[in-house]
Amino acid sequence: MRARVVKIGNSKGIRIPKPLLEQTGIMNDVDLEVENNRIIIRPVTSPRNGWERAFKTMAEENDDALAMGHDNISHSWDEEEWQW
């Protein structure tokens, strides 16, 4: 698909057709990157998207305990190396 570069103030831009936006999930903000003389446009996603739901499910299933219980946190060098 071909698009024309147009002047927008002091910059330039392109209009992205709706089908492409729908296909890529781009709704608002995007990340731009240049790679091998190509402009890569990606939708901005939240790196923690879904965490709240996952933590709630873990708590409901009593699966939110520390992987290493507090009895296992200390090490022999804790007593040998530290001066209290």
Q: Is 36 left (phi over 0), alpha (psi -120 to 50) or beta?
A: left
What's the pTM value of the predicted model, to 2 decimals? Answer: 0.49
- Is 8 part of any domain? no
Residue 35 within a domain = yes
Amino acid at 66: L
- Domain hosting 21: range is 14-63
Tokens matching residue 83: 């001066």
Is residue 45 included in any domain, yes or no?
A: yes
Per-residue pLDDT of the chain (84 residues; tens, 9 = 90+): 889 999 999 999 999 999 999 999 898 889 999 999 999 999 887 778 888 898 899 889 988 777 665 556 666 766 676 666
Write down the H helix ranges in 1-84.
Answer: 18-24, 51-60, 76-81
Q: Is there a domain that residue 26 lies in?
A: yes
Residues 68 and 33: their CA atoms lie apart, in Å, by 40
In a domain, 28, yes or no: yes
